[in-house]
């Protein structure tokens, strides 16, 4: 388990124990973050698990695949250097302390 700081859509911050080996999306849903719709269930076919990461956290992320990049670039809330699809990020020990903000849909 690694500690991850999460900010929901209402701006409330909390810390979760994220399970290594699960996606960031699965960890957020397992910790009752209902703001994260994750409609496609992690298939990288929608943007409803879109999150923002601060600069230091973004640097800890694995490289983005083309499919994820294309989806994010079409998202209204896309922020270069911050946006990721949480379904495409597998949590590992290096991610302890990352800061995640759930992005608004649309």
pLDDT at 16: 98
Which has more confidence, 39 or 18? 18
CA 93/CA 20 separation, integer angstroms: 7
Average pLDDT over residues 41-66: 94
- Give residue for tokens 């250097």: 81
Domain that holds residue 6: 2-102
Reported as a single tens digit per residue, the pLDDT across 57-92 is 999 999 999 999 999 999 999 999 999 999 999 999
**Which DSSP string do the residues of 68-95 spell out, in sequence order?**
HHHHHHTSTT--TTTEEEGGG-B--GGG
End-to-end CA distance of the chain: 32
pTM: 0.94
List the structure tokens of 50.
């879109």
State yes or no: pLDDT of 7 exceeds 90. Answer: yes
Total domains present in the chain: 1
State yes or no: pLDDT of 106 exceeds 70. Answer: no
Residue 81's domain is classified under what CATH number? Answer: 3.10.20.30
Calculate the average pLDDT of the chain: 95
CA 48/CA 9 separation, integer angstroms: 13
pLDDT-derived band at 105 (thresholds 50, 70, 90) equals confident
């Amino acid at each position: 388990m690694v500690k991850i700081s999460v900010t929901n859509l209402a701006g409330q911050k909390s810390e979760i124990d994220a399970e290594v080996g699960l996606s960031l999306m699965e960890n957020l849903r397992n910790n009752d973050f209902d703001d994260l719709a994750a409609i496609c269930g992690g298939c990288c076919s929608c943007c409803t698990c879109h999150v923002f990461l601060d600069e230091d956290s973004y640097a800890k992320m694995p490289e983005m695949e083309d499919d994820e990049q294309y989806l994010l670039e079409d998202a209204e809330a896309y922020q270069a250097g911050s946006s990721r699809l949480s379904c495409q990020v597998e949590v590992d020990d290096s991610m302890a302390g990352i800061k995640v903000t759930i992005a608004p849909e649309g």
